[in-house]
Amino acid sequence: MEMIKLFTFPDSVSLANRPTRLYRPRRSLADYSGGREILVKRDDETGCGTSGNKIRKLEFYAAEALQQGADTIITAGHRISNHTRTTALVARELGMDLHLILAGEGECRVDGNLFLEMVAGAEIHFVPPQDRSELNIRLAELADDLRAIGRRPYVVPAGGSSPLGVLGYARCAQEIKQQVDEAGLRIDAITVALGSGSTTAGLILGAEMFGLGCPVYGVHVTSKPELYGPLLRNLIEETRDRFHIATEVPDDRIRVITGYVGNGYGQSSTEDLAFIQDIARRTGLLLDPTYTGKAFRGTLHEMRKGVLQNCERVLFIHTGGLFGLYNWRSQFQFAEPSELAPRAQASV
């Protein structure tokens, strides 16, 4: 407990709208959740162009970039990445240049996040599909090239996943603790979409540091679920080492829910899209096909019959991703809007 009072977060730049609100859907989702209560933390409202989870991590990276006197931000991700879009807009907010390395294959439509990156004037470098560690090597090479021509680049790791990014969500756990204490609420579990890992790792570490008293589950939506236990453990331990955090995280606190990636990372089934549409119509929540749609669906399903079925109340962290929805617009079928005919004028 002593450590909890003593821990001071390193410098950060205020970029996100914090605290984000806790939202309780007014129309029941009991048929999905088996009657249990779902609350949603609206991290999709951390900003407009910078909305979502990545901005909480970037508040710490931005401070380090400014301290180092950087003039250019560089980062990497998938071509549909929310992280690269957020970083692009943050770089501009800081008055810096930006380069993005984007991985993927095939033709790429300029839509969703990529469109916004282009509007922000990012220098974009496409590369074939590669994993995060390969992307981080490409980033180091690009940083060398930029230094060689006299620039001062600052590298944000792919996905924003390193100890500084983990701190963004450890601080979010502290925010949740304050919110639930003030509201006199008890939550039995927290769930969040699990990608590069620092959001989940930060919440798990922060839950221990600030005494949240409930488990955090990362709902896995990418590839290779078996890697995620070790990945989260590494991120947690690197963060504890770097920032001298004494709080330990027992193994049974590192929890991953698998089985909801469906057709694969960035692929959506008809059922996934029908779910997103149904949730928008019932609650006004806009989920994205790659992360939050699958993670929210997985959460509700596990509440109905799974590892969360003994939980009375679960808090889902909505990590944003709205712009990703635009890439899927041709897959949705809507009725044609009708013309509203003008009223006949009363004759005088």
Active site positions, annotated: 81
Binding of residue 53 to ligand PLP (CB under 6 A): yes
| Contact region with ligand PLP (CB under 6 A), list: 9-17, 189-197, 203-211, 326-334 | 189-197
Residues numbered 10 to 29 that lie near ligand PLP (CB under 6 A) are none
Residue 288 has which token pair? 């994205």
CB 85 to ligand PLP: min, Å = 9
Binding of residue 159 to ligand PLP (CB under 6 A): yes
Residues 241-261, buried b or exposed e (16+ Cβ, 10 A)? Answer: eebebebebeeeebbbbeebb
Residue 221 has which token pair? 């939506």
Number of residues forming the site for ligand PLP (CB under 6 A): 20
d(CA 161, CA 133): 11
The residue (of 97 and 112) whose beta carbon lies closer to ligand PLP is 112
Binding of residue 197 to ligand PLP (CB under 6 A): yes
Helix, strand, or coil (residue 295):
helix
- Residue of 195, 206, 215, 289 interacting with ligand PLP (CB under 6 A): 195
Binding of residue 239 to ligand PLP (CB under 6 A): no
d(CA 71, CA 152): 5
Binding of residue 46 to ligand PLP (CB under 6 A): no
Binding of residue 220 to ligand PLP (CB under 6 A): no
CB 211 to ligand PLP: min, Å = 23
Residues 70-106, buried b or exposed e (16+ Cβ, 10 A)? Answer: bebbbbbbbbbbbbbbbbbbbbbbbebbbbbbbbbee
Binding of residue 327 to ligand PLP (CB under 6 A): no
d(CA 9, CA 62): 14
First to last CA, the chain: 81
Binding of residue 320 to ligand PLP (CB under 6 A): yes
Give the strand pairing for 72-78 and 97-103: parallel
Binding of residue 321 to ligand PLP (CB under 6 A): yes
CB 7 to ligand PLP: min, Å = 21
The residue (of 161 and 299) whose beta carbon lies closer to ligand PLP is 161
Question: CA nearest 109: which of 72, 80, 74, 151?
Answer: 80
The residue (of 20 and 82) whose beta carbon lies closer to ligand PLP is 82
Cβ atoms < 10 Å from Cβ of 5: 7
> Footprint of ligand PLP on this chain (CB under 6 A)?
52-53, 82-83, 159, 161, 193-200, 288, 291-292, 319-321
